[in-house]
Structure 1
Amino acid sequence: MKFNGLMNRIKLTYLTLFFLLFLSVLISLGYGKGFYELLKGLWCSENFCFVLKKIRIPRTIFALLIGGSLSICGVTFQSILRNNLAEPYTLGISGGACFGITLSVIFELNSKLGPFANPAMGFLGAMCSTYIVFLLSRKRFFDPNQIILFGIVVSLIFSSLVFFLFSISDPDRMHGVLLWLMGDLSGFESDLIVFYIIIFLIPAFVLFFLNKELDVLSLGYEKARYLGLNPDTGYSIFFVITSLLTAFCVSVAGIIGFVGLIVPHILKIVLGTGSKHILFTSYLAGASLLILSDTFSRYVLYPLELPVGVVTGILGGTILLVLLLKRR
């Protein structure tokens, strides 16, 4: 009976999240015109068709990819560290990626090396911060709480370095970077949409494929080794993949907080444990959350536009606070 109840709950969760994702995409594409005008505009209105294809559709796709990616990164970190506060931001990975990309922007590597420069520098920065955190926590026998504390410290250090770079750079050029730093989806390059879809989905599919290994690592270092899995290799693989995915997210949209923290937290309450379903549902929920947050940020102060990181920070922080108060 309990098993049937769990399976029904899982099916209902999938159906709800697929419907929510579909609805959020429609709202993002058709807000301000209505759904009838949205469909009509595809064939009748040249201007609206241009806006839809060149701006709204690519932006919605980026929001979907980034929201889903941040969520499964959060699931991965929370599982292997067994700490619900683990996510790319609290582990310092987002801060390291941000520092690397800021260097790339200041030295104009994107114009010299092409579109790969920002993600590559972001990945190097993310791996640098990951290495520092693990180097520090290795002496503490990989205590999850210590890793979180070291991650927060490393994140603060990299954030300070980013603001130092701001202070010695041209202020006019740094204005756009400051908006990006707050979490912004308006600076995407629609011509590279296919490239970004590929580089976002490959690491995500690898994480989905390794869900059983993630479950084993979530049992702890000693139990994972007892079950025949090399924990050191497992940790390294998952941290490299999630660091790569985080670097891609930061290179496009800057630092967007709380998506990788709050989405897995809620779905674990709904579904319980088990990385397979948590990963898939978190991707759907995170994508929907960021699409809706981005839509809200575009129109709440129209014609001005809020950075989406501000919206997710307020929303995620409020939800997390309510959940913590209910568990007291």
Structure 2
Amino acid sequence: MKPALRLLVLAAVLAGALLLSVRLGAVRLRVDEVVGALRGVGDPATVAIVRRLRVPRSILAALVGAGLAASGATFQALLRNPLAEPYVLGVSGGAAVGAVFAIVLGASAASGTVALAAFAGAALAVVLVLRLAASIGRALDTRVLLLSGVVVGAFFNACILLALTFADTESFRAALFWMMGSFSGATWREIGLLALAGGPAVLVLMGLARSLNLLSIGEETAAYLGVRTERVKIVAYGTASLVTAASVSVSGVIGFVGLVIPHLVRMVWGADHRFLLPASLLLGATFLVLADVVARTVTAPTELPIGVITAFIGAPFFLWVLRRRTA
């Protein structure tokens, strides 16, 4: 099957997942009810459920899944490690610090203030990691970059624990639920901001596909073939971190998407980033939309944190991959 046809199939699967996500919930809807509600006709309650709740939630889940998967594929190429993921480099820790401090200081967990604080914290983490890595040597060593991310992430985790120590019961609970991830407060405003920040960044990553192919082989080979390795590494890291920061700021910390999806695509269809990146984007969107459906329905009317669902799927997959690599 040609790559373009594969992408069309993945896009069709994503469309089916989005339709399923809009249909399922506390109130199950038929396809004709969904279509009518999207047109603004039918029962007013159904129209409100579809247009104000389920459609924004499904689209936001798709955008976040796409962003995290594309970022994961980029980091795996950059670090030449198929077990790398976006959160390894401290971005999620920075976002969590910003969000937790905002919540402890009195901001509502569903407010734009928390999302803005999370994005600022993630951006701070990116800057710190880059400064630490650059201070070791003139060349941006990916091993040093990884270690810097681990150190910054550990420091931010300590900051989170410190903030939670002084939080009241309500703030503690709100911060904990934010860190486990959820799309329950999805709005069209968040969708617009995420698309505005993440859309151009993803296009930049697509443009780096050939360079990432060569970097995944080795920096010396890439440089010999004309790749400006230091520039590509900084742009790729910064852009992928921006996508991760924007995604985490509107959804909370959702793990394993950036690890599982790119590795799965690579196992099935190969490591050419000209296909790997768009395929990871589509499959990541589908995965997180379906994970959100499970989170909403498996214990209905109680809703599970989306991070719990992705961890239950991602952790066994991670162990399987690890055993397969060491066998």
**TM-score, normalising length from structure 1?**
0.87
Pick one of 263, 273, 287 that aligns with 2:285. 287
Q: Tell me how far 1:156 sits from its aligned partner.
A: 2.8
User: 2:7 corresponds to which letter in structure 1?
Assistant: Y
> Which deviates further from its counterpart, 131-140 or 119-128?
131-140
1:36 maps to which residue?
32
Moved more, 49-58 or 226-235: 226-235
CA contact 1:100–1:121 (8 Å) conserved in 2: yes
- The Cα offsets for residues 22-60 of structure 1, whole Å up to 9 and x where unpaired, read as 111011001122323322444211111111111111111
Partner SS state of residue 89, structure 1 = helix
Aligned ranges for residues 1-328 of structure 1 at < 5 Å?
A: 8=1, 10-11=3-4, 13-31=6-24, 32-42=28-38, 43-107=41-105, 117-118=116-117, 120-131=119-130, 134-135=133-134, 138=137, 142=141, 144=143, 147-326=145-324, 328=327
Asked if the contact 2:265/2:276 (under 8 Å) is kept, the reply is yes
- Are the aligned partners of 2:11 and 2:282 in contact in 1 as well (CA < 8 Å)? yes
**Offset at residue 298 of structure 1 (A):** 0.7
* Aligned-residue CA RMSD (Å): 2.8
When structure 1 is superposed on structure 2, of 194-203 and 305-314 the one drifting more is 194-203
Q: Deviations over 1:50-72 (max 9, x none)?
A: 11111111111110110000001
Task: Give deviations 1:167-213, integer Å, cap 9, x for gaps.
Answer: 11333133222111012112333344323322221211111122222
Aligned-pair CA distance for 1:118:
2.9
Q: Which secondary structure does the structure 2 equivalent of 1:21 belong to?
A: helix
For 1:192 and 1:237, how far apart are their aligned partners in 2?
A: 25
Aligned equivalents of 2:20 and 2:289: distance in 1? 9
Farther-moved stretch of structure 1 (75-84 vs 9-18): 9-18
**C-alpha distance 140-276 of structure 1, shift in aligned 2 (>3 A):** closer
**Structure 1 residues 93-149: Cα deviation after superposition (integer angstroms, max 9, x where no partner):** 2112222333344456899996883354134333145236625875998254x6545
Unaligned runs of 5+ in 2: none
> Would the alpha carbon gap of residues 249 and 21 (structure 1) be closer, same or farther in structure 2, given more than 3 Å must change?
same
3-state DSSP of counterpart to 2:87: coil
| Cα displacement string for residues 214-248 of structure 1 (whole angstroms, at most 9, x for unaligned residues) | 22332322223223333222211111111111111
CA separation in 1, counterparts of 2:284 and 2:148?
A: 26
Structure 2 vs 1, CA of residues 115 and 181 (structure 1 numbering), >3 Å: closer, same or farther? closer
Q: Structure 1, residues 282-313: CA drift from partner, whole Å, max 9, x if none?
A: 00000000000011101111111111011001
Cα distance in 1, alignment partners of residues 91 and 50 from structure 2: 34
Identify which range, 186-195 or 309-318, moves more after superposition. Answer: 186-195
SS state of the match for residue 28, structure 1?
helix
SS at structure 2 position matched to 1:90: helix
**Would you say the 8 A contact 2:139–2:230 is kept in 1?**
no
- Residues 114 and 94 of structure 1: CA distance in aligned 2, closer, same or farther (over 3 Å): closer
Q: State whether residues 122 and 251 of structure 1, in contact with CA within 8 Å, keep that contact through their aligned partners in structure 2.
A: no
Distance 1:112 1:261 in 2: 29
Displacement of 1:259 in angstroms is 0.4
Gaps of 5+ in 1: 1-7
